[in-house]
Amino acid sequence: MTKKRYKPGVYTIRKKDGTIVYRASLTRKGKHISLGSFPSQDAAHEAYLEGSRCLADPQLLPDTYPADSPLPFVKAVCLMNLRDNGIYFSAPIFLGKRDFLYYLSRDDVYRFDVDDLFYFASHRIMRRGGRLFVSDYGSQIGVMTRFGIRSFSVAGRDYFYVNGDDHDLRRQNIQIVNRYRGVLACEERGFQRYKAVIHVRGNFIVGVYDTEKEAAIAYNKAADVLTGKGVGKKYELNYLEDVGPAEYAEIYRNLPLSPGILNWGN
């Protein structure tokens, strides 16, 4: 039986249900690069031709790449990066001299420091709602946690973007104001201080403290007090990496709390 021949760059796979899927691929310097699956042989061949053009034409760039291309945009980005920078990433990354762009889509582009390159080259960024995350060992890890921003943090309150661009995730553009749960930086009589706030049917001020560390521990202490008084809410406590057990216990013991917390339920 004569084996069926397909157009250049096209091959097929057969699914378990018997359906034939057309796939496209090309080879660059001995490396096999898959371009994806397509509904027909012609569509797969067009993607192959477009992929070859991305590798050959330096005028093709992500910012001006045509929207009606037969090749998926994120795959075109991978090929253009290979063409210009000599390295292939399966993630849609385009390298610059000191940073790189990560294309979730044509109009959804993030800028990162080159120091983060190999992490995001091996961890595909996804979005659910307004949250960016990667999959790591079966868990969903928020992208912003890589920069010291906790899941409870609020942009514009706990951290902000220096140049106002929330797609610029270079480290020099992210300024963290409040690192801990329930802690807000504030100014009192011209001095920088830290307010601890906890939620029980509304926000209660735990106290105002000289250091961020004290305020974070005060929040934990307030949570313990409220839990001991029968408040059913499950509080997530602050973890302070740079505070040893003895120091933590000393600060915890001596921290004053507001009467509203101490007298809760009385």
Q: Per-residue pLDDT for the chain (266 aa), expressed as one digit of tens each?
A: 445 678 999 999 888 888 889 999 999 988 899 999 999 999 999 999 999 999 999 999 999 999 999 999 999 999 999 999 999 999 999 999 999 999 999 999 999 999 999 999 999 999 988 889 998 877 889 999 899 888 888 898 889 999 999 999 999 999 998 889 999 888 888 888 999 999 988 888 999 999 999 999 999 999 999 999 888 888 989 989 889 999 999 999 999 999 988 888 77
DSSP 111-152: EEEGGGHHHHHSS--EEETTEEEEEETTEEEEGGGGGT--TT
Arch. (CATH architecture) of 183-262:
2-Layer Sandwich (3.30)
Maximal C-alpha separation, the chain: 90
The residue among 231, 225, 220 whose CA lies nearest residue 262 is 225
The 10 Å Cβ neighbour count of residue 6 is 15
Euclidean distance between CA atoms 57 and 60, whole angstroms: 6
pLDDT of amino acid 1: 41
Q: What's the predicted TM-score (pTM) here?
A: 0.80
pLDDT of amino acid 243: 92
Amino acid found at 163: N
Give me 223's structure tokens. 């949570």
CA 237-242-243 angle, to 5 degrees, is 65
* Angle (deg, nearest 10), helices 41-56 and 73-85: 30
pLDDT of amino acid 179: 87
The residue among 99, 54, 45, 53 whose CA lies nearest residue 74 is 54
Hey, where are the domains in the chain? Answer: 1-88, 93-102+110-177, 183-262
pLDDT of amino acid 2: 45
pLDDT of amino acid 119: 94
Q: Say which residues have a Cβ less than 8 Å from residue 29's Cβ, sequence separation at least 6.
A: none
